[in-house]
Structure 1
């Protein structure tokens, strides 16, 4: 009898410890955004609860995942991106964990206090805007002239993108509503033509569209110089048909404003808040999230040349920057 009691207590303790690993979730979505989540993502309280439970069970039993975040906000990144298809969310998580290890130069040690990353961000190359569009979407503005391709590398550019994305991904409204990208190419120069190798560009595009848990809703290009058309076309050609269909090219800022409300944009583009103020405010948010973003490096998925990982199946002919036996990856 004493043994049974002891066993029961151990089981209860184990269950309590297991339960404490999972944060109590409180939905922060507005009533309107809950409707969007239901209509577009099939999300409600019951579906979300069941999906989170199934997702956590899958992670706990995965033979290659050695450590992974299992809090609700992290897992909802993937579930919402994949409209609560648990198998698809599981596959995307595998890919996400894998690219972090296959391409550490792009996705690991993302530190806002790193001098180069901090400098690129302060220059205003890539800035999430504080005001959302009418659909509640997060807008991310890229200004080509604020990135010097003769001073910085494609790796440093990618790291800034990765840092900013990680700073945004736990936001519930953005998980549901998605993201809009505005790319002002007026300052692009010939240095951008040789910034990325074709191999790296292909790898990055695959990472963005297959492995990053973001709902990419719209992409706007504006002020593309004639000589840069081929550069942009090359990048766009690597995208899926779905993402290609969400791209709009504008000849001018005024034309862009027919699609994007001017007041959303920085003061320099017709809005009200100066770009410098937007940069400073978001940098403070990144500093507050610094420890959490760096702790992502603790996650681990075991990879070897015989891995059955879905990302490994999907990537082809990726040269350089790979770990372990992944010196060259060629998959049919």
Structure 2
């Protein structure tokens, strides 16, 4: 049974051969592994004493299985963490409504847009720091927009298999962006990204980094695991980035063919289509015992650098 008692539909793998091949080579995925793993995960969810309600359809569970290369124990652990953080941080992960005026406004600004063309099969997420107004919106708004955008993309099986490329244009990044964040928030959001979000993060490209942004990025990078650190690239100019990324797939404003606005309009249509499904994620429920939940104590651990508060302190060198 799925969430709310609906029947789980039989899963049909009808992706192109290129994806099947990559799934087998990179994720060890074949029909029998997939079927057994889905059964084992559903069984685990049904028997879990604290999970009261959870989606059990294949596209949802495959987010975790593919991120963890079909290690069922690791996939189950990641799902448990995913459900937990949605409840620990409702301000970041719940009620992600594309019709919420603030979220709609930030989406309309073009702050974060999934591109239409893929990078070697990967979904590209393009962000423009300068389009996020730090005087009007908070860090929670920023995280919510990322959560909304990624929830709209994570059930897509091509994205699950091929992963994601991020391109971040940091022009327009101001000190005001930095003062939105406390060190604890940055650490916690990075932990959420690394350990609880079922996405294969393949490459992170940064463009037009100001001296203000570089310290923030260096601090954030220092908190990442080695694998993710090695997937970060920084460029002095757009031409330098073109050597690494085929400019054809970029928005017209960055040397490509399709204007950013056209890509944004297409994405807004997708958000409308997915609205009910994304809001329905809030029906999932796990009971959390704050005293014994390892994730709670992990998130509350003191920062090793001995200071907390805001990033302004990083600037006082």
TM-score by length of 1: 0.88
Q: Give the CA deviation at 1:118.
A: 0.4
- Deviation of 1:312 (Å): 3.2
1:119 to partner: Cα distance = 0.5
For structure 2, the 5+ residue unaligned runs are 304-317
Report how far residue 28 of structure 1 moved.
Answer: 2.9
Q: How does 1:49-128 map to 2 (within 5 A)?
A: 49-128=35-114
Q: Check the 8 A contact 1:28/1:172 in 2, yes or no.
A: no
The alpha-carbon distance between structure 1 residues 182 and 50, as it changes in their structure 2 partners (threshold 3 A), is: same
Identify the residue that residue 16 of structure 2 maps to in structure 1: 30
Which residue of 171, 174, 177 maps to 2:159? 174
User: Could you give the per-residue CA deviations for residues 148-202 of structure 1, whole angstroms, max 9, x where no partner exists?
Assistant: 1111110111100000000000000110000000011111111112111111111
- Distance in 2 between residues matched to 1:315 and 1:158, nearest whole Å: 17
- Trace 1:1-332 onto structure 2 (pairs within 5 A): 21-133=7-119, 135-307=120-292, 309-312=293-296, 314-317=298-301
Q: Deviations over 1:32-69 (max 9, x none)?
A: 11010001100000000000000000000000000000
Measure the CA separation in 2 of the matches of 1:19 and 1:43: 28
**1:169 & 1:139 partners in 2: Cα distance?**
13
Q: Quick one: distance in 1 between partners of 2:208 and 2:291?
A: 46
Give, in angstroms, the shift of residue 109 of structure 1.
0.2
Displacement, 1:296?
0.2
Question: What is the number of residues matched between the two proteins?
Answer: 301
In 2, Cα distance between equivalents of 1:229 and 1:82: 31
Quick one: distance in 2 between partners of 1:73 and 1:201?
29
**Residue 313 of structure 1: CA displacement?**
5.2
| Partner Cα distance (2:211, 2:185) in 1 | 24
- Quote the offset at 1:311 in angstroms: 2.6
Q: Deviations over 1:268-303 (max 9, x none)?
A: 111111111111110110010000000000000000
Larger Rg: 1
Change (3 A) 1:37 1:313: farther
| Aligned-partner SS, 1:58 | helix
Gaps of 5+ in 1: 1-14, 320-332
Helix, strand or coil for the counterpart of 2:244? Answer: coil
Is residue 94–residue 310 contact of structure 1 (8 Å, CA) maintained in 2?
A: no
User: Shift of residue 227 of structure 1?
Assistant: 2.9
What's the TM-score once normalised by structure 2's chain length? 0.92
Q: Please, which moves more after superposition, 44-53 or 239-248?
A: 239-248
The CA distance in 1 between the partners of 2:161 and 2:50, in whole Å, is 29
Three-state SS of the structure 2 residue aligned to 1:258 is helix
User: What CA deviation, in whole Å up to 9, does each residue of 1:90-138 have, x standing for no partner?
Assistant: 00000000000000000000000000100000001011001001x2000
Please tell me the root mean square deviation across aligned C-alpha atoms, in Å.
Answer: 1.7
Aligned 8 A contact 2:67 2:200 in 1: yes
2:306 corresponding residue in structure 1: none
Change (3 A) 1:45 1:227: same
